Amino acid sequence: MKIIILAGSGISEDSGIPTYYNNSKNGLWNINDLNKICVKNKDRTNESFDFYNIFRFLLKTCKPNENHDIINNIQQKYENVKIYTFNIDELLESSNCKNVIHLHGKVNEIKCKKCLNIQNIDFQEIKLNHQYLYCNSDDSIRNNIIYYGEKCNYGSLINDIFELDENDILIYIGSSNNSFDLNQIIKPLKFNKILINPNLSTFNGDTKQYIIFDKLNESIFSCIDGIIKD
Ligand SMILES: [Zn+2]
């Protein structure tokens, strides 16, 4: 039996990281016009570096929460658990999750646009014309994050999903991500779907095919065990 977990930005909100699209909880993201900062062709601007510098500063003090810990426990308890995330923070790794695949990049990495090398910078502040000990291409460094309008490679996720058979499980932890309509892809596929989404109004799949929780909690284990027994 295989389990794929796909985790969206909602899981990190309780750690103090606002989601991109949430208007209500935290003002930090709202005062920035993301459509001008995190978009294609704006990857080497002062605004873009400053925005993610704030994100890095914020992350320094953020700790994993129950969501990250439960995902880690699922990976510990069952074999063949693969974790994908849209999140650019590394709180899943901080919670001891292994081999997490970041579909939208990581906020603590920079990338050279020329040679495509990636370097971990932890929580360091990045400035446009600063010198970094790197590949000597300081004029080509950007955040290693997929910006709006940039091409994102969902290929390995989609391949993995298509390889699931009817005994396998996909756990989709609600995401406000609107760049990727997963529900359309998984709708006709015959595997067990566990959806965790506190706001079902954003969900456009057929609820009959899903086991639905509004929050990730310990009951997920009896749910998985029930599927395994059947
Ligand atoms: Zn380079």
Distance 140 CA to ligand 1 centre (A): 7
Per DSSP, which regions of 33-86 are E strands? 81-85
Distance 38 CA to ligand 1 centre (A): 22
Give the structural domain span for 70.
1-15+63-103+151-230
Same domain, 196 and 162: yes
Same domain, 188 and 121: no
Distance 53 CA to ligand 1 centre (A): 21
Write out pLDDT tens, residues 59-117: 899 999 999 999 999 999 999 999 999 999 999 999 999 999 999 999 999 998 888 88
Same domain, 10 and 83: yes
Distance 211 CA to ligand 1 centre (A): 46
Looking at the structure of the chain, the number of domains it has is 2
Q: Between these two residues, 20 and 117, which has the higher pLDDT value?
A: 117
Distance 51 CA to ligand 1 centre (A): 23
Could you give the residue ranges of the DSSP H alpha helices within 60-190?
66-77, 91-94, 155-162, 182-186
Distance 109 CA to ligand 1 centre (A): 14
Q: Per mean pLDDT, which range of 11-15, 157-161, 219-223 is the poorest?
A: 11-15
Task: Give yes or no for residue 133 having a pLDDT over 70.
Answer: no
**How many residues can be counted in the chain?**
230
Q: Please tell me whether residue 125 adopts helix, strand or coil conformation.
A: coil
Same domain, 165 and 210: yes
- The residue type of 94 is S
Please give the Cα distance from 37 to 126 (Å, whole number). Answer: 15
Question: pLDDT tier at 127 (50, 70, 90 boundaries)?
Answer: confident
Q: Between these two residues, 230 and 133, which has the higher pLDDT value?
A: 230
Task: Give yes or no for residue 22 having a pLDDT over 60.
Answer: no
Contacts of 222 (CB under 8 A, 6+ apart): none
Give the residue from 199, 203, 195 showing the smallest Cα distance to 171.
195
Same domain, 122 and 208: no
Same domain, 124 and 201: no
**What are the structure tokens assigned to 71, written together?**
């995902």
- Quick check: pTM over 0.85? yes
Last residue of a domain, one of 145, 172, 198: 145
Same domain, 92 and 179: yes
**What are the structure tokens assigned to 91, written together?**
């709180």
Please give the Cα distance from 181 to 178 (Å, whole number). Answer: 7
Task: Give yes or no for residue 175 having a pLDDT over 70.
Answer: no
Supply the CATH number for residue 125's domain. Answer: 3.30.1600.10
Same domain, 49 and 125: yes
Distance 141 CA to ligand 1 centre (A): 8
Please give the Cα distance from 13 to 85 (Å, whole number). Answer: 14
Distance 130 CA to ligand 1 centre (A): 15
